[in-house]
Amino acid sequence: MARTGHHPPGCSRDSKSPRHTARDPDIRCTDGTFTRNALTAIGQVLSTDAPYHIGAFASGMQGGKGEGSAGGSKGSSFASWGAVIMPTKLFEATALSVADLPRTANLIALSSNELMIGRKLAYQPDNDALSEGAFWVEYMEAEDDCMVARHVVPYATFAPAIWHAIAADMFEEPADEQDASQIDRLVQRRGIFPHDPAAGPRHVAIFSCELSSLLERDLEPDSSGSNPAQLRIDTLDRLSGHEPDFYADPNAGSRPAWDALSVTMFERSCTTQAGARFEILFDRPDLTTGTSLGHAHASLFELQEALAGTRPSIRETATFRAYINALAEPLLASRPILTAIHNDRTGAFKAVTNFLENHSPGWSDDIPRPRPFSALLPLPHDWNGQVHITGLVQSDYARKPAETLGVAPELFGLYAGRSDGSTVWIGAAPCEADAHALAAQLN
């Protein structure tokens, strides 16, 4: 279902449409075990800690079906690219200890389209303020909206299963109610937290091509390639479609520039089940979107593209050096990001690695060496020593326990237990014996 509407040339909404493609399998059986796409190494490094998750959800995690689960046809192809680009279970790098970090996000920022995915899954004509006709009118209007995560959505709005479906669509992977990391990543990227004016600008999560369009609307007509705004526009344009969320200060763009992204930008355009309109972030200066680690993660992708894709003549300018130095600051303050860069086996961040060697010599001296390659993702920092093996059926849309569907398993998923009782996906094997062999390697 392609999205249309207000977006700059070259920014295709098709690339963000729900389940827009069926991906080829990117894990394969090698010597009896499954290995993931090579870029999973990035996710393995970045998935070591995860204080951000929905606490109320953890106790009901194991094997619950929930209402409103996303369905899908049977199939065994794995759509894990999104999990690679948006790595699992990140934790915020601050001076606080893990115990001091907030464990919940009661509010989530969603775009109109993402919000209506949840509303569609939860919609029941008998107890919804909108008739079926009115609901579908609102749903189609949301399809024409921008990709700015402007709606303030209370977590209690949807059942956990629906949040998994929203997160899975966002990360382009199957929904999995046993994998708490899907909620962790959603909160890391879209959680809404109180804003401290002294801590810096407010943030609104925004897709890269929309941010590029916003900046371009306010660009001076005679801006050259050495203009700071033009440098960023060019980098964001090259990134479009392969990046995490970026974040914009609502005051960074003019009102006409914001209006150009969507005619409903400043309107409360989606209704709750009771018929009330959701708040929008532009009306809440006390709230800001995403964690500091989410912001640093976006800076990592932007810095890599700026270093690798900018013309040599521009890279020699003082303006470009100031631009990349500013992008490097949140990276250097984030140990999990630095660990990911240091332990990257794919070369995805080679330009950033070379830059940091010159910019901050010794930046990786105290980072442990990466472990030998494993078919499994790293264990969570609060692993309770347990590994749960579940026979699964998987489609492009969801991973579900085969037992609950009354069918034979297509694969066997491994889930690491956490101290709060939740579990996270760490990999799969084609048969139960191989799954137990992989689990044995962890002890």
pLDDT tops 60 at residue 19: no
- Least Cα distance to 153 among 120, 121, 189, 105 occurs for 105
pLDDT tops 70 at residue 43: no
Write out pLDDT tens, residues 205-257. Answer: 998 888 999 999 988 776 555 688 889 999 999 886 667 889 998 988 899 99
Give the residue, 102 or 125, on which the prediction is more confident: 125
Q: What is the mean pLDDT of residues 176-194?
A: 92
- Residue 428, pLDDT score: 93
Q: How confident is the model at residue 83 (pLDDT cuts 50, 70, 90)?
A: very low
Q: What is the mean pLDDT of residues 122-130?
A: 93
For 27, residues 6+ apart whose C-beta sits below 8 A from its C-beta are 34, 35, 36, 37, 78, 80, 428
| Residue linked to tokens 């040599």 | 312
d(CA 49, CA 335) in angstroms, rounded, equals 11
Q: What is the mean pLDDT of residues 275-293?
A: 92
- Residue 372, pLDDT score: 66
The reported pTM is: 0.75
User: Which 3 state secondary structure label does DSSP give 417?
Assistant: strand
Q: What is the mean pLDDT of residues 84-92?
A: 28
Give the residue, 235 or 35, on which the prediction is more confident: 235
Write out pLDDT tens, residues 136-169. Answer: 998 888 877 888 999 999 999 999 999 999 999 9
- Residue 98, pLDDT score: 31
Instruction: Classify residue 16 as left (phi > 0), alpha (psi -120 to 50) or beta.
Output: alpha
pLDDT tops 60 at residue 336: yes
pLDDT tops 70 at residue 259: yes
pLDDT tops 50 at residue 106: yes
Round the average pLDDT of the chain to a whole number and report it.
76
